[in-house]
Chain A
Amino acid sequence: MGADAIPVAVVTAFFGVVGLVLPFIVGRGPNKGVIQVVLSITAASCWLFWLLAYMHQMNPLIGPQLHNTTVIALQYLWDNNLNLTELESTTDMSSTMEFTSSTMEFTSSTPATA
């Protein structure tokens, strides 16, 4: 529940450089004022946009609602914690192609049990 320090620091520092430091460096030529304004407004609005996305997800009030087939794919592909007894006995977990075919079998049997 809360913010992680590293992303906040990195993003804020990046946009801080763009918006606060760069304008002083780029001072030359007839368009100096315009370039400064452009840089600072860009940095401010982009940083604010990122911040809002970040803060909205910091303490979520609801979680994502997923279809069970999606959960199976997720657990296998992203989290690596899929334990299905049927699966382990019949297939080799390292092969994706076969897994696809057995998923098909699995979903077809789900309506019967749900």
Chain B
Amino acid sequence: MGSLFRSEEMALCQLFLQSESAYTCVSELGELGLVQFRDLNPDVNAFQRKFVNEVRRCDEMERKLRYLEREIRKDGIPVLDTGENPEAPMPREMIDLEVKFEKLENELKEVNSNAETLKRNYLELTELKHILKKTQVFFDEAMYPPNLPYDQDAFFDEEQVNLLTDSSLHQLKHIGFVAGVILRERIPAFERMLWRACRGNVFLRQAEIPEPLEDPATGEQVYKSVFIIFFQGDHLKMRVKKICEGFRATMYPCPEAPADRREMAMGVKTRLDDLNTVLSQTQDHRHRVLVSAARNIRAWMMKVWKIKSIYHTLNMFNLDVIQNGLIAECWIPVANLEDVQLALRRGTEKSGSLPAILNRLSTQEAPPTFHRTNKFTKAFQALIDSYGVATYREINPAPYTIITFPFLFAIMFGDLGHGIIMALFGAWMVWREKPLSAKKTDNEIWNIFFGGRYIIFLMGVFSMYTGLIYNDLFSKSLNIFGSSWHANYNETTLKDNKELTLDPGDSMQYDQTPYPFGLDPMWQISNNKINFNNSYKMKISIIFGIVHMMFGVILSVWNHRFFNRPMNIYCEFIPQLLFLFCLFVYLVLLVFHKWVWYGAGGDVGSSPSCAPSILITFINMVLVKAYEEAEPGSPCSPYMYSGQFGIQRFLLIVALICVPWMLCAKPFILYRANKQKQLVMQANGGEGVVEEGNAGASGASGEVVEEHTDMGEVMIHQGIHTIEYVLGSVSHTASYLRLWALSLAHAQLSEVLWGMVLRIGLTFGEGGAGGICMYVMFAFWATLTVAILVLMEGLSAFLHTLRLALVSS
């Protein structure tokens, strides 16, 4: 048997490593990836372990690298992933790495804070610029208030007329003002507060700044408005200032004279230009730093991870003070002991010290389960493991699942067209494996699809096969070999009857031999297609279900033989097999008999009108119905073959006997064996207290005897097992009917899609309009088809339950 059929044989080994070579040896073993270390210091706190400092340093480095990565991603720089696997660096190189990362981090932090300061300055200057612009408008408006009947000619020369110093406007003397910028959302509340607090004695003008400004702290764009408040007197000034601070409006000194304002505006403009240049240079510098970091960041990350894992592993070792070395315990597959030795030798050579010693131990513990998988089998093994990992050296159901899982999926999916799409998708992913796997994405859904690419490919291929057999291509049938049904009605029959049914007994209408491969294409265009299909699909579901379950039960024989438990074969396997056989395989045989025996065109007793329902027959058998005489005058017999009644009774009795057999045989034998053991012990003079091995009491010494002689527990265990098996066999069989249900749903859905969607495009009419309509309809149809594929892909979730039957052993 190959290695995938059973989990690998594992050996517990002890490693003696010298302190100097410990690091390199562990690094080599890590690259090999075949060793599982045991934690020899389980009760030691994480902070008390030997290498906790190194782990902490690695954590720091990782944090810095993550920060760098975040900044890189913020700028949108692509991270180069060459897929290379750098080796773990030596401990002394760790210091170099630390220094490098520290430098990078500090540089980046400095650049960032500089940029922030610059941005703040920029914001202030921009706001000042806006203020200067808007206040000009305010002052102009104040000079020419719209409602007052001023003689405007007198105030034409604005250079000499100034709001605050003009003597003719003496009522505006001692006017102070405050200019500032505030968030637009706060303006209404601000106005109200000003009005209430200053009792209406202040004058507020405001104008919106059209472009949004960037807030330096958060980086988001906000809308602000410029405001100017005119007031008289110092008290109001203080009050206004306090309110402005309360609303977090930034105030700017605005000169009174227009000439000063113009000068200031120009100064602000030049400063803004300068700032822009500096800002862009800062950004460039930051970009350069990040680009150079992005080149190496993947490799650095890998190195740091490797160092960290090496130290974690070293933490699990025991310190051997006598020889100044480290002791490790690990599980190694027996087949790989040589490779591990080689790796150890390589490690000690690198560090140049005494060689490490590998010692094999023997133990009673259960070793871990290890399946050696390649990229193809890995997905299926993961599928099986998700249900439950097999115990050590138990039969592995994975290799059989490689085919049964996609095949059962295909029975439910069964469409040639959809199968082609799925197979192509899977094939594309397999073909472009390397470039696609190098692109590390975080997209969970894509990763799931890509991980299951082989499964998807196989599911597609098998769906093509079942699609051919179901004769379903996007809900249309192919007629490759010529249908076996023919119509030969004359004109009046055709005119008079809306519906015509072909008769299987008439050899002009039915060829008497079926369509050679799959379902006849005639059924796709008939009205009673579903009747025919239902009976067909239900039968195949049950038959495949029984076959699958028998396969699972038979697999368990191998387990029993390997673990040398012949008692299990007689007490569990044989009654299980008999139970399944007597009831369910008999059902399958009835199906086959009905297929062969009953048909049209033959003798009346086996005509279609006389064919008994298998379901009713089976139910009658289990309900122990009495023997039925054929009704006089009717050619039909209630039984399918002579002697059926007797055989059915016999099978039922055998099946019923199997139940107590499963339940009681094993505990009984164990009980007898236990009794004998105790008699032997008593005859030898009795060591210790011997108790009756009856229900509730524990048995003899635990170290020598492996099996539990606790009768109560054995009985319970056996009872659970029996009930689970008996009830499970009935329910699992019925649950295979989901194969029928889902295949029916799929077929109907694709028919609906064709009839309601694509047909509209196809029958639209001639000319250009038809072409356009077809284009639109096809897009619609294709989208829905693929969406249904995805929907049906949820079928695979159902398949998981079908695996249960296999693992029931």
Contact = CB atoms under 8 A, between A and B. Distances in A.
Given A7-B516, A45-B404, A75-B487, A61 B599 contact: yes
The 6 closest A-B pairs by CB, nearest first: A59-B599, A33-B2, A64-B526, A7-B516, A57-B514, A63-B502
9 contacts: A3-B514, A31-B2, A37-B400, A53-B540, A60-B510, A60-B532, A64-B532, A75-B489, A79-B486
Contacts of A72: 494
Interface string B389-407: 0000000000110111001
A34 B2 contact: yes
Interface string A44-74: 0110111011111111111111111011101
Given A1-B512, A45-B407, A55-B595, A66 B399 contact: no
A33 B402 contact: no
A59 B595 contact: yes
Given A55-B596, A71-B494, A72-B494, A63 B499 contact: no
B519 A57 contact: yes
B212 interface: no
Nearest to A37: B399
Given A11-B517, A63-B504, A110 B495 contact: yes
A30 B518 CA distance: 37
A113 B496 contact: yes
A32 B780 CA distance: 46
Of B489, B528, B536, most buried by chain A (CB within 10 Å of CB) is B489
B509 interface: yes
A67 B486 contact: no
A77 B245 CA distance: 91
A41 B555 CA distance: 14
A60 B515 CA distance: 12
A83 interface: yes
B487 to A, nearest CB: 5
B399 A58 contact: no
Given A31-B374, A54-B514, A59-B596, 5 more contacts: A4-B513, A4-B514, A37-B400, A64-B501, A64-B522
Given A58-B514, A71-B487, A1 B399 contact: no
Given A4-B513, A38-B402, A58 B4 contact: no
A1 B211 CA distance: 87
Interface string A74-108: 11001101011100000000000000000000000
A33 B600 contact: no
A114 interface: yes
Nearest to B543: A52
Interface in B515-562: 515-520, 522-523, 525-529, 531-532, 535-536, 539-540, 543-544, 547
Contacts of B531: 62
Interface in B396-432: 399-400, 402-404, 407, 411
Contacts of B59: none
A59 to B, nearest CB: 3
B602 interface: yes
Contact of A114 (B403, B498, B527, B592): B498
B494 A62 contact: no
A114 B602 CA distance: 34
Contacts of B403: 37-38, 41-42, 45
Contacts of A7: 516-517
Nearest to A49: B469
A94 B298 CA distance: 73
A61 B404 CA distance: 31
A79 B514 contact: no
Interface of B: 1-5, 374, 377, 399-400, 402-404, 407, 411, 465-466, 469, 479, 482-491, 494-504, 509-510, 512-520, 522-523, 525-529, 531-532, 535-536, 539-540, 543-544, 547, 592, 595-602, 608, 611
Contact of B596 (A46, A52, A58, A65): A58
Contacts of B487: 66, 71, 74-75, 79
A81 B488 CA distance: 7
Given A31-B2, A33-B4, A65-B501, A59 B598 contact: yes
A68 B498 contact: yes
B469 A58 contact: no
A1 B599 contact: yes
B512 A56 contact: no
A63 B495 CA distance: 20
Interface residues of A, number: 52
Contacts of A54: 514, 516
Report whether over half of chain A's contact residues are helix, strand or loop; otherwise say mixed: helix
A63 B527 contact: no
Given A48-B547, A49-B466, A58-B514, A67 B498 contact: yes
Contacts of A6: 516
A69 B580 CA distance: 49
A38 B504 CA distance: 39
A79 B490 CA distance: 13
A1 B540 contact: no
Contacts of A114: 495-498
Contact of B404 (A41, A53, A58): A41
B83 to A, nearest CB: 25
A110 B494 CA distance: 9
B465 A46 contact: yes
B595 A56 contact: yes
Nearest to A109: B495
A58 B498 contact: no
A105 to B, nearest CB: 13
B673 to A, nearest CB: 37
A54 B488 CA distance: 25
A54 B539 CA distance: 13
A1 B602 contact: yes
Contacts of B489: 71, 75
B356 to A, nearest CB: 29
Nearest to B515: A57
Contacts of B592: 55
A2 B525 contact: no
Contacts of B500: 65-68, 71
Nearest to B482: A78
Nearest to A10: B516
A59 B600 contact: yes
B485 A34 contact: no
B755 to A, nearest CB: 14
A1 B607 CA distance: 11
Contact of A41 (B400, B484, B528, B611): B400
B332 to A, nearest CB: 19
Contacts of B509: 63
Given A31-B2, A58-B514, A75-B487, A68 B402 contact: no
Given A45-B403, A64-B501, A113 B485 contact: no
B520 to A, nearest CB: 6
Given A56-B536, A64-B532, A50 B498 contact: no
Nearest to B506: A63
Contacts of A49: 411, 465-466, 469, 540, 544
A63 B507 CA distance: 12
Contact of B525 (A50, A66, A113): A66
A34 to B, nearest CB: 5
Contacts of B466: 49
Contact of A34 (B402, B526, B527): B402
A56 B611 CA distance: 14
B485 A63 contact: yes
Contacts of A83: 490-491
